[in-house]
Amino acid sequence: MLSQSINQDSEIFRWLAAVTYTMVSALTIRLIVMPLGLMATVPLWIRILICALSIGVMVSKPTKRLVPALLTGTLLMVGYGVFH
């Protein structure tokens, strides 16, 4: 009943979506540029390269590419840790 009166295209929901996307992107950048723990031992240029490769996989075919992009980033980061 109450959900029928809520307009998802209203300004408040658009603002909330913008704030949410901004927070997620800021946290992602922080994890890449200023990581904590074991990831801090990986050089910045390698972290950026792995992110760029993962984004390349994601952009190559936007539908059904989230899992391969995450797998690419994870395997490359683990591979760096194993072989370094």
pLDDT tens track for 11-65: 888 999 999 999 999 999 999 999 999 889 999 999 999 999 999 998 988 778 8
Degrees, nearest 5: CA angle 53-42-56: 5
Is 29 in the same domain as 58?
no
Is 3 in the same domain as 24?
yes
Is 22 in the same domain as 62?
no
Is 43 in the same domain as 30?
no
Query: Quick one: pLDDT at residue 65?
Result: 84
Is 43 in the same domain as 26?
no
Query: Quick one: pLDDT at residue 2?
Result: 67
78 pLDDT band, cuts 50/70/90, is very high
What mean pLDDT do residues 63-71 have? 87
Orientation angle between helical segments 11-33 and 44-60, nearest 10 degrees: 140
> CB of 32 within 8 A of CB of 51?
yes
Whose CA is closest to 41, among 77, 16, 67? 77
23 is in which domain, residue-wise?
1-34
Is 28 in the same domain as 43?
no
pTM over 0.85? The answer is: no
Give me the number of domains the chain comprises.
2
Rounded CA-CA distance 71/47 in Å is: 15
